[in-house]
Structure 1
Amino acid sequence: MGSLAPVLFVFVLAAALVTCSALFVPKGPHQVTIRTALMLTFAATYLMWMVTYMAQLHPLIQPIYSLRTE
């Protein structure tokens, strides 16, 4: 079944991308805007993936099986 390993692996990947976007954006008049946009993009993408992944692992509504056969 699923484990916590993919969530942690993708978190480390997202953190690395955020760090790279903070360090390697070229200097210029819009450096802060570009940095902020990249960091928010990586954070939002990770959160959306993690919520979707966890919802598939632990659904709120269980399947209902019907024992009736017609």
Structure 2
Amino acid sequence: MSGYNLIWVFIAGIIASAAGYVLTPKGNNQTVIRTIIIMTIACCYMSWAITYLAQLHPLIFPKKTGLRPHLE
């Protein structure tokens, strides 16, 4: 686990967003469809990145409670 995964997934998200932008079918709702595709990818990336960073650098570390002292 490293911080470089954030960069690689960000680049993959940019590529997916560009592909969605280019491959959107023409029509009355083309702008709406493009917006939905790009916003979905951006929100999924942000959710994943926040969860990943929270696990990579936790703010609160677990403490031993002494429930099983024979195993400590």
Question: What is the alpha-carbon distance in structure 1 between the residues aligned to residue 24 and residue 57 of structure 2?
Answer: 38
Runs of 4+ in structure 1 deviating by more than 3 angstroms, as ranges, are 66-70
TM-score (norm 2): 0.85
In the alignment, what sits opposite 1:31?
30
In the alignment, what sits opposite 1:12?
11
Question: What is the alpha-carbon distance in structure 1 between the residues aligned to residue 23 and residue 5 of structure 2?
Answer: 26
TM-score (norm 1): 0.87
Task: Give the length in aligned residue pairs.
Answer: 69
Q: Which runs of 5+ in 2 are unaligned?
A: none
Q: Provide the alpha-carbon RMSD of the alignment.
A: 1.7
Question: What is the alpha-carbon distance in structure 2 between the residues aligned to residue 61 and residue 21 of structure 1?
Answer: 39
Q: Which runs of 5+ in 1 are unaligned?
A: none
Identity rate of aligned residues, in percent?
35
Shift of 1:64: 1.1
Question: What is the alpha-carbon distance in structure 2 between the residues aligned to residue 62 and residue 45 of structure 1?
Answer: 26
Shift of 1:13: 0.5
Shift of 1:33: 0.5
